[in-house]
Amino acid sequence: MLHNWKTSLLFLFLSGLILLFIVAPLAGMFLQTTGAQYAETLADEEVLRSMRLTLLSSLMGVIIFGMAAIPLAYVLARKQFPGKGLVNGLVDLPVVIPHSAAGIALLGVISRGTWVGQAGEAAGIPFVGGMAGIVVAMAFVSIPFLINAARDGFEAVPEKLEKAALNLGASPWRVFFTISLPLARRHVLTGLTMMWARGLSEFGAVVIIAYHPMVTPVLIWERFASFGLAYARPVAAVFVIVCLIVFVLMRLLAGKQVASRHSEE
């Protein structure tokens, strides 16, 4: 607790400054967009199509890659093995490297000249210039948020509970699904939400793999580069509002699920 009034005042000032730094640009963008521009943007089929693609692609990335990431988070939380520090560093790598570089790296794996790209083409699922590539790019840059959150959740689960269940004859799978995962549920749901939200905003990796079809961040850039700020701002404002609404709803849903779980216990 801050007893000194000068220290308290300094902390309040710095806190307010940071909040202003976050809120002011967004507020300015919303206020500078007129009601007519909002209406026109919401009636623009290209904008609506890009938003649907963005929301669905990020969600698919969470479903496909997130399910595989949760076991990795558990292993990192519970197991000790040579090179564990290196693995933890690799998990954080997509956050550190420039996302344009991430797109180039992914392109070397899923382009049409690679066996992955050729397999996708043969199955009718093109990566380059297709939704599958967008999903991969979004998942690549956002999956560290899920792994780190889930790992922290599993680390907070008392290991003695898992050992007691194993000693009573429960299988490792049953222990994981009835003890470890439920107790780490809050962290896992937070990680899934953050992974989905981060995927929505991805531009650098996506634009290299799939300029078309356009996700909304790419569409905003394309309109800004072609027509200027006034033409791009309404799309950005509407997209931010949509993301905030969906993000808040997902957080509320996750909170209700956790509260329901606690009441059952």
Express each pLDDT in 207-245 by its tens digit.
999 999 999 999 999 999 999 999 999 999 999 999 998
Q: For residue range 99-116, what is the model confidence (pLDDT) as tens digits?
A: 999 999 999 999 989 999
User: Of 203, 92, 191, which Cα lies nearest the Cα of 137?
Assistant: 203
Residues 31-71: tens digit of each pLDDT: 999 999 999 999 999 999 999 999 999 999 999 998 899 99
260 pLDDT above the threshold of 60: no
Other Cβ atoms closer than 10 A to 10: 12
What domains does the chain contain, in order, with CATH numbers? 38-264 (1.10.3720.10)
List CB contacts of 191: < 8 A, sequence separation 6 or more: 73, 145, 146, 147, 148, 149, 150, 153
Q: Which two tokens stand for residue 131?
A: 């939704």
The one-letter code for the residue type at 15 is S
- For residues 238 and 41, the answer to whether their CB atoms sit within 8 Å is yes
Higher-confidence position of 253 and 265: 253
Residues 76 and 129: their CA atoms lie apart, in Å, by 35
Instruction: Tell me the angle at which helices 131-156 and 45-78 cross, rounded to the nearest 10 degrees.
Output: 40
Task: Using the predicted structure, report yes or no on whether residue 256 has a pLDDT greater than 80.
Answer: no
Rounded Cα gap, residues 162 and 176, in angstroms: 8
Pick from 58, 55, 141, 139: nearest CA to 97:
141
Angle made by CA atoms 31, 37, 38, in degrees to the nearest 5: 75
Q: What share of the chain is helix, strand, coil (3-state, %, to 5)?
A: 85, 0, 15
- % of the chain at pLDDT higher than 90: 85
254 pLDDT band, cuts 50/70/90, is: low
* pLDDT tens readout for residues 119-168: 999 999 999 999 999 999 999 999 999 999 999 999 999 999 999 999 99
User: How many whole angstroms separate alpha carbon 248 and alpha carbon 230?
Assistant: 28
The DSSP H or E segment spanning 237 is: helix 229-264
